[in-house]
Structure 1
Amino acid sequence: MERAVFGASGFFSQKAFITGYRGIEHVRLGHQKGTNLDIVEIWFNPWKVSYRELLDLFFDLHDPTSIEGQPFNNQSFIFFSDKHQYALAKQKKNELKHIYKDKIITKITPANESIQGLKEIKLIS
């Protein structure tokens, strides 16, 4: 099992990764300590779904060009766990620069243990 962590608005958290997407074993929702940023933590089987596929899904489920002036909890984040995840996230963000007219504001930052209030959600098949 591997871990992927994404942050975006509450609307994103409620619709993202809740259906029984193949390879996703556990999903927990919470927020980042000291902020109201909504976090989705995904435990996935890399033999069934790749981190790259999860990145694609993440970017399909929200607008990565939302205005910087939004409240912090409405911004977009990728929290990477290792160098491989970091490289894939940077690559995906660079690819999107050629698709969107506006600036991609998704931030890529190291995952840490500052996620609070994580609650397991039931996956719907």
Structure 2
Amino acid sequence: MEIQEGMEVATFAGGCFWCTEAVFLELKGVQRVVSGYIGGETINPTYKDICNGDTGHAEAIQITFDPSEISYGELLEIFFATHDPTTLNRQGNDIGTQYRSEIFYNNENQKDLAEAYIDLMTRENTFGKPIVTKISPASIFYEAEDYHQNYYNQNKLQGYCSYVITPKVEKLKKVYKDKLKN
């Protein structure tokens, strides 16, 4: 994927990619969000491959954003506010290494910001429990199958979407209204 001049890429794993994609698609300055797989050994993994939890890949999103409209730091803030960074290899009922909390940095600045953000939240005991989010260099990001892209917006009435994703999107709309599109 070619990135337009002036744009940057952020890569986050925070549980189910349907959930994280739905949140970040709402933000001003976010040009594109793609669901996919990263961090494992399997080449060209499929959803079926990663569901076993033994490929090493995480369900993740790749965000193309305009840093003049939304900063990487603001994306980090929203990432941590919309998933539980204290549960190892789990988000709610989604259990396995593919649902881990991990930041895949695309440059040294992103790495430094992520480390500083986690250090600050640790010092302030933001979550009352240790943060288990890993910080790793970005490796090859494999786009998920087409039916996973923009999943929530196409399936809002599906049970998982309405019970798990809608509350996350509603929280975002309430807490971060100034950062939303439209």
TM-score in terms of structure 1 length: 0.85
Runs of 4 or more, structure 1, over 4 Å off, are 122-125
- Note the residue ranges of structure 1 that are not aligned, 5 or more in a row: none
- Asked whether the equivalents of residues 105 and 135 of structure 2 are also in contact (C-alpha less than 8 Å), the reply is yes
Matched residues in 1 for 2:35 and 2:101: separation?
Answer: 15
1:52-102: CA deviation from partner (whole Å, max 9, x where unpaired): 000001001101101458510121000001111001000111111122221
| Larger radius of gyration between Structure 1 and Structure 2 | 2
Answer 1 or 2: which has greater helix percent. 2
Alignment correspondent of 1:100: 127
- Asked whether the equivalents of residues 88 and 101 of structure 2 are also in contact (C-alpha less than 8 Å), the reply is no
SS at match of 1:65: coil
- Note the residue ranges of structure 2 that are not aligned, 5 or more in a row: 1-6, 43-54, 154-180
- Asked whether the equivalents of residues 5 and 78 of structure 1 are also in contact (C-alpha less than 8 Å), the reply is yes
Alignment correspondent of 2:82: 61
Alignment correspondent of 1:86: 111
Alignment correspondent of 1:76: 101
TM-superposed CA distance for 1:9, in Å, is 1.2
Identity rate, percent:
28
Q: Which has the higher contact order (CA 8 A, sep 6+)?
A: 1
SS at match of 2:86: coil
Alignment correspondent of 2:12: 6
Across the aligned residues of Structure 1 and Structure 2, the Cα RMSD in angstroms comes to 2.4
**Number of residue pairs the alignment of both structures matches:** 123
TM-score in terms of structure 2 length: 0.60
- Asked whether the equivalents of residues 80 and 109 of structure 1 are also in contact (C-alpha less than 8 Å), the reply is yes
- Asked whether the equivalents of residues 80 and 111 of structure 1 are also in contact (C-alpha less than 8 Å), the reply is yes
User: Which sits farther off after the overlay, 91-100 or 31-40?
Assistant: 31-40
